[in-house]
Amino acid sequence: MKRTPIKEIFRNNETLINQTVLVKGWVKSLRKSKAFSFVVLNDGSCFQDLQIIVDDTAPNYEEISTSIAGTCMSIEGLIVESGGKQAIEMQGKKPEVIGKVAQDYPLQKKKTSLEFLRDIAHVRARTNTLSAVFRVRHHLAQATHKFFSDQGFYYIHTPLITASDAEGAGELFRVSTLDDKNPPKTEAGAVDYSKDYFGAETFLACTGQLEAESLALAMGSVYTFGPTFRSENSHTSRHLSEFWMVEPEVAFADLDDVADLGARYIQYMINYAFEHCPDELAFFEKQYAKDLSETLKHVASSEFKKITYTEAIDILLKSQKKFDFKVEWGVDLQTEHERFITEEHFKAPVIVTDYPKDIKAFYMKLNEDGKTVRAMDILVPGVGEIIGGSQREDDFETLKARIKSCGLEESDYDWYLDLRRFGGAPHSGFGLGFERAIMYITGMSNIRDVIAFPRFPGNAKF
Ligand code: ATP
Ligand code: MG
């Protein structure tokens, strides 16, 4: 007999009544009484557990009834109506143990902290919380592809190994096959990367944007969705060393176009999550984030506030609030500033545009004032920055000058400059941190709990 995922059983509960089905999964809990035992089984296909009653006529009743949480079981039985919390349950006829569980299985106690679960990431997807997060993650990935594809965007794949530090932030992981104990040296005594595998110094990509621009300037609207690497030494609840980024890039679009695209994309994900993961969202609201659904529904149906960086600085200065980092025109907005604006001042997502050029990357389009660039960040309550984007500099000379003044080598960006010489066009794009979107929609407060195997400073286990 073929296994039926528990999700299918609940979805078709009426047609399956009095039918025999086979389920396979892991025991959540098991309560033994004299003549029968209650097995609560979860197979991860959905939030719900299936309650199964196994009576002592089963030949292996002793083995089944003494099993503990975590045991992997296969049970064939009859679906029947239930008087309990759920509409149906199973009368288990043929139970079997597929995989026994050792006594030191770490998930036997009901309550465990998220912190503790991070140390046992190899089994934490068995918990209600993490499996719910990963199902939402799956659906948001599907939503992403559907949202962009339905609007004519092409899904492209940009390289993960790169020779350029596009953000200019120097937070890169080196990719090298040189002998680290005895690397070849140049005459000046520096490591000679021209002898390295790629004939140049190479890194794991911190963005796919530059390559996405090249394809946008050939195919119109494209997006990449892939892993991104940053060796920033941030021990925060919002940064990972390896995270997933969604980066649309749109030819003939200006900053307002992509700010609007970003807002609609976030709203689309929220609606998609309500449609596809109602049980999970209800669980997160109950367990972690009071008012989650009310807040999200409000965001999904209202226009995002839009202010300039200069207005944001004004709001911060007028707030009279004591911040750790000084507020004055020209400083980068710190997390505390972003959170004040989105959580306390507007109590809603906010799009901040036109940042000072000195705190932004070289490729952002210079405004006529010569001081600010056409950049935008989307900030959301609880998370802070979720999207960073810009209109790209499309003027060859201005871009060249910016590369130079940012201390970058023009020769590293020759192909990127070519895009401005070979039929260039205005174009814009952004990057959305996929994990930050998951945090926002689930209400989970630590980014390490929304990716299965988080990488952060000091940790690459699993
Ligand atoms: P932050 O100020 O939070 O460090 P950033 O300005 O460095 O963000 P961008 O370079 O604009 O971020 O990257 C685009 C998006 O990628 C951000 O809006 C954020 O959602 C996400 N992001 C950036 N760095 C990380 C990280 N280390 N871990 C997870 N997501 C990240
Ligand atoms: Mg950063």
DSSP strands (E only) in 123-216: 154-156, 161-162, 174-175, 202-204
Name the residue among 434, 368, 363 with its Cα closest to residue 214. Answer: 363
DSSP strands (E only) in 252-338: 305-308
Highest average pLDDT, of 5-19, 72-86, 441-455, comes from: 441-455
User: What are the structure tokens assigned to 310, written together?
Assistant: 């200069």
The response to whether residue 431 sits with its C-beta less than 6 Å from ligand 1 reads: yes
Ligand 1 test: best mutation among 238, 441, 447, most atoms within 8 Å of CB? 238
Give the pLDDT of residue 167: 66
pLDDT digits (tens, 9 = 90+) for 118-147: 999 999 999 999 999 999 999 999 999 999
The protein residue with its alpha carbon nearest to ligand 1, atom 8, reads 385
Q: How far apart are CA 344 and CA 381, in angstroms?
A: 9
Which whole number is the average pLDDT over 395-416? 93
Neighbours of 247 (CB within 10 A): 23
Which whole number is the average pLDDT over 80-99? 93
Helix (H) or strand (E) holding 453: none
Q: How far apart are CA 60 and CA 71, in angstroms?
A: 15
In the predicted structure, residue 110 carries a pLDDT above the cut 80 = no
Name the residue among 110, 105, 103 with its Cα closest to residue 40. Answer: 110
pTM: 0.96
pLDDT digits (tens, 9 = 90+) for 293-316: 999 999 999 899 999 999 999 999
The response to whether residue 6 sits with its C-beta less than 6 Å from ligand 1 reads: no
Q: How far apart are CA 141 and CA 120, in angstroms?
A: 25
In the predicted structure, residue 412 carries a pLDDT above the cut 90 = no
In the predicted structure, residue 233 carries a pLDDT above the cut 90 = no
Longest dimension (CA), the chain: 84
How many Cα neighbours within 13 Å face the side chain of 274?
A: 14
Give the pLDDT of residue 169: 67
Neighbours of 378 (CB within 10 A): 23
Give 193-235 as a DSSP string: GGGSTTSS-EEE-S-SHHHHHHHHHHHSEEEEEEEEE------
Amino acid code (one letter) for 3: R
Higher pLDDT, 346 or 108: 346
The response to whether residue 438 sits with its C-beta less than 6 Å from ligand 1 reads: no
The protein residue with its alpha carbon nearest to ligand 1, atom 3, reads 385
Mean residue pLDDT of the chain comes to 95
Least confident of 21-35, 102-116, 194-208: 102-116
In the predicted structure, residue 70 carries a pLDDT above the cut 80 = yes
Per the CB < 8 A criterion, the answer to whether 78 and 19 are in contact is yes
The protein residue with its alpha carbon nearest to ligand 1, atom 31, reads 433
Least confident of 145-149, 321-325, 387-391, 434-438: 321-325
Å from CA of 442 to ligand 2 middle: 22
The response to whether residue 433 sits with its C-beta less than 6 Å from ligand 1 reads: yes
The response to whether residue 339 sits with its C-beta less than 6 Å from ligand 1 reads: no
The protein residue with its alpha carbon nearest to ligand 1, atom 29, reads 239
The protein residue with its alpha carbon nearest to ligand 1, atom 9, reads 388
User: What are the structure tokens assigned to 31, written together?
Assistant: 């309560």
Give the pLDDT of residue 13: 82
Give the pLDDT of residue 328: 96
Give the pLDDT of residue 112: 86
Å from CA of 53 to ligand 2 middle: 52
Give the pLDDT of residue 166: 64
**How does DSSP classify residue 185?**
B
Q: How far apart are CA 49 and CA 347, in angstroms?
A: 37
Q: How far apart are CA 237 and CA 226, in angstroms?
A: 21
Q: Residue 15: what are its φ and ψ, rounded to 5°?
A: -70, -20
In the predicted structure, residue 2 carries a pLDDT above the cut 90 = yes
The protein residue with its alpha carbon nearest to ligand 1, atom 18, reads 387
Give the pLDDT of residue 85: 82
State the closest ligand 1 atom to the C-alpha of 378, by its place in the atom list counted from 1: 18
Å from CA of 256 to ligand 1 middle: 20
Q: Residue 414: what are its φ and ψ, rounded to 5°?
A: -60, -45
Per the CB < 8 A criterion, the answer to whether 27 and 41 are in contact is yes
Q: How far apart are CA 333 and CA 312, in angstroms?
A: 9
Q: How far apart are CA 311 and CA 301, in angstroms?
A: 25
User: What are the structure tokens assigned to 214, written together?
Assistant: 């090249």
The protein residue with its alpha carbon nearest to ligand 1, atom 11, reads 388
pLDDT digits (tens, 9 = 90+) for 338-390: 999 999 999 999 999 999 999 999 999 999 999 999 999 999 998 999 999 99
